[in-house]
Amino acid sequence: MKTAYDVIVVGAGPAGSAAAQRAAQAGLDVLLIEKRQEIGVPVRCGEATDIETTERFMPLDARYINRYINQYAIIGTAGDRVIVPPSSPTIIIDRKVFDAALTHEAARAGADVRVSTTALGLLRDDGAVTGVRLKSLGRVCEVRARLVVAADGVESQVARWAGLKTIPPMADYYVGFQFTLTNLRGRFDPDICEYHIGNETVAPGGYVWVFPKSEDSANVGIVIPANRARPVSPQAWLERFVERFYPGAGILSMVAGGIPITGAIRPMTADGLVVVGDAAHQADPLTAGGISLGMIGAELAMQVAAPAIKGGDVSARALREYEALWHERFGKMHGALYAVRKILTRMAEADFNRLVAQAARMPLATMSHAELITQLLRAHPALLLEARTLITTGLLLK
Ligand SMILES: Cc1cc2nc3c(=O)[nH]c(=O)nc-3n(C[C@H](O)[C@H](O)[C@H](O)COP(=O)(O)OP(=O)(O)OC[C@H]3O[C@@H](n4cnc5c(N)ncnc54)[C@H](O)[C@@H]3O)c2cc1C
């Protein structure tokens, strides 16, 4: 490891590896550090992501693709289900292999990759971030950089060290729990991703997902906002679900983890530092999917940071264009998704079941989102007040 780089990326999850790849491709000298001994483990993920973003960073490869998904099902507790196409074609991945493949691409682009290397603190000159104090294979050292990228995930400390606010309110932080189940053949559809919603009997304020891994196995997980995770824990809710739908299934693995669902933090930059991925709360504020959004966030960050580094100005002001690009692309949509989640969080299970029953009778394949929402609002005018944020964000007018 050298004593100075153009860019140090902290964290080799999807966002960090994508940032390192783009920075190296821009001709910068990059160090990518990861505190774990091995990239991608332990896996804390339902493992669904979109093909389009993946392909922009690496070739599709059967080694990390478990299933191709053409449909999603939204399922109430009264037996109705709404089938919708994914907003973009989806794959179920093996996250361990996927993350390692992405890091490999960063290394191929020229980034210096180090595992078992933990950022311990930031170096600063006149308040600006100028490097990282780190521990690598037992040795503590200081490494200088013109820019530090905080890609250290949901527990991000790096952004906090730079003075940025990253702790979400309890209501905007999902706690998740997941089993990978086997012996499911004939008991689920291996080509559909399912979302089960029911605030009183399935997942208060959240949902249960069933994402197929093979003809016989699936990731079955739950997210619940942290402020509703007591007195019954997400694990206990999930055990009830599994007991009901998949009794006797084998459990291949279990994971727990958290996801911030506030929408992106503001600011996402400081002097000499940008924040990307979960560390910047870039995950979808409704579904909490964050793999591809973190990679896109990293790409936007580097699109602005690479010329800033070359031009010798990495002040927060110069880097702020990154936030503008992010909000231009996702701000409105994420505001609307956040509002939809808040509505769903409060909705009585019987009301949600009525919505699902009605939507199940609509020709969804030929309807725009706006038409769908407008029809549902007509049938359930009580929702209109709740939906005013959607109206003001313009989602209904598209
Ligand atoms: C139960 C669950 C299910 C999910 N399911 C899905 C899903 O199906 N689809 C989807 O798109 N998203 C899903 N997500 C969210 C998704 O996993 C995250 O959005 C995604 O991993 C974010 O990527 P990232 O690179 O920002 O962070 P991470 O993947 O968390 O990577 C951060 C990395 O930084 C490293 N690190 C942390 N601190 C340091 C340090 N000080 N020094 C060095 N390295 C450090 C960590 O070890 C880690 O490897 C799920 C999350 C959970 C918890």
Lowest mean pLDDT of 74-78, 234-238, 282-286, 341-345, name the range: 341-345
What is the assigned CATH class of domain 170-260?
alpha beta
CA 153 / ligand 1 centre spacing (Å): 5
Other residues' Cβ atoms within 10 Å of the Cβ of residue 122: 24
In the reported structure, the alpha carbon of residue 294 is separated from the centroid of ligand 1 by a whole-number distance in angstroms of 9
> What's this model's pTM, rounded to 2 decimal places?
0.94
Would residue 216 be called left, alpha or beta, if left means φ above 0 and alpha means ψ between -120 and 50 degrees? alpha
Say if ligand 1 is within 6 A of residue 10 CB. yes
Strand partners for 225: 174
Locate the ligand 1 atom nearest the alpha carbon of residue 219 and give its number: 8
For residue range 90-142, list pLDDT tens digits in order: 999 999 999 999 999 999 999 999 999 999 999 999 999 999 999 998 899 99
State in Å: Cα 154 to ligand 1 middle. Answer: 7
Mind listing the pLDDT tens digit for each residue in 299-324? 999 999 999 999 999 999 999 999 99
CB 300 within 8 A of CB 269: no
CATH 3.20.20.80 holds for 4-47+94-168+265-319: no
Q: CB-side exposure of 255: number of CA atoms within 13 Å?
A: 15
- Count other C-beta atoms under 10 Å from residue 354's C-beta: 18
For 321-349, the pLDDT digits (tens) are: 999 999 999 999 999 889 888 888 888 99
pLDDT mean over 364-375: 69
C-alpha separations of 278 from 42, 89, 290, 294 in Å? 16, 22, 7, 7
Sign (positive or negative) of CA dihedral 389, 393, 394, 398: negative
* Residues 212-242: tens digit of each pLDDT: 999 999 999 999 999 999 999 999 999 999 9
- In the chain, CATH 3.50.50.60 covers 4-47+94-168+265-319
Could you give the residue range(s) of every CATH 3.30.9.10 domain in the chain? 170-260
Mutate to test the pocket of ligand 1, among 43, 160, 259 (most ligand atoms within 8 A of CB): 259
